[in-house]
Structure 1
Amino acid sequence: MPVKAKLAAAWASLMFLYIYVDYLALYKPGFIDTLRGGTVHEFDAGPTFVAASLTLMSVPTLMILLSMTLPARVNRVVNLVVAALYIPVTVFNMAGEPWKYAYFYALSIGLELLIHVFILRSAWTWPRRAASPAVGLDGEALRAPQQV
């Protein structure tokens, strides 16, 4: 499988995980009441919070597209930088959560960190040579199309 596809799939998986964690958090008792009261995890849910949240989630969303479209050398660097920067963001998401939800957040953050590590590893080990006409990037010989 091409590295670009692996990276795009990893970023898409990360976004699905973000969505489900946020959705399932709505089921915590009192969470919707605090949302209606204008706070999210101790933060004022005003325009600044909403804009910051959108910005924070826009980057991984754009990484799905960028992973498929950027040239390999730039793609590798961008994925390494963004994944590395998002590791502290991921860990910070557990700040201020009550201990009774520790398993939920530890599991979700653990999964998110595993995906980040996969992205970092995939980008770091990206083959630094172009495929030759006879051998693909996966090292397997390419077959000539059969003529009928």
Structure 2
Amino acid sequence: MAADATRVLSDPPLPLRVKLSALWVSLTFCYLYGDYFGLYKPGKLQHMLDGAGPMGPASQSSLLFVALLLVVPGLMAFLSLALPARIARWLNIGLALFYAAFVAITMPGAWWFYLAYSGIEIVLCAAIIWLAWRWPRKA
């Protein structure tokens, strides 16, 4: 029994693409939970029932825009694994920059829970950018 307690666990390195995919999954969960908890703000549900959307009046086009905005991080979890390296690298950098900027402009005046999620989302985007920027090159 004592021999098992002193054994060192193996910790193989994770491939870069797996790390990027996991970061996009984490970002997606933060978006989903942030939006979910936002429904608890007083008056939010009534505001929605009155026809307000996340970016002005609810319409097919505004909801399509929001749907596309939220589906991309989920798709990047797969695309980070599946796309050719050059395309995956630049998509990771470009989209993470876009999402970090988008989150930053939505922060002013937000409730504390949203600020916490937004801060975490920006850190996740920064990690995506950093990892993708440092994508290993062939010798």
1:12 pairs with 2:31: no
Where does structure 1 differ by over 2 angstroms across 4 or more consecutive aligned residues?
92-97
User: How far 1:77 sits from its partner (Å)?
Assistant: 1.3
| Matching of residues 127-138 of structure 1 within 5 Å | 127-129=136-138
Identify the structure with the greater helix proportion.
2
1:106 alignment counterpart: 115
Distance in 1 between residues matched to 2:124 and 2:116, nearest whole Å: 12
Identity over the aligned pairs, expressed in percent?
37
Distance in 1 between residues matched to 2:54 and 2:91, nearest whole Å: 30
User: What is the alpha-carbon root mean square deviation over aligned residues?
Assistant: 1.6
**Contact 2:28–2:74, Cα closer than 8 Å, also in 1:** yes
1:34 pairs with 2:47: yes
Distance in 2 between residues matched to 1:37 and 1:129, nearest whole Å: 56
Superposed CA offset, 1:67-89 (max 9, x none): 01012222111111111122221
2:131 alignment counterpart: 122
User: How far 1:91 sits from its partner (Å)?
Assistant: 1.5
TM-score by length of 2: 0.84
Provide the aligned length of Structure 1 versus Structure 2. 126
Superposed CA offset, 1:89-144 (max 9, x none): 111333564xxx2x2222111000000000001101111127xxxxxxxxxxxxxx
2:93 alignment counterpart: 80
Distance in 2 between residues matched to 1:124 and 1:46, nearest whole Å: 38
Q: Structure 1 residues 43, 115: CA separation in 2 closer, same or farther (over 3 Å shift)? A: same
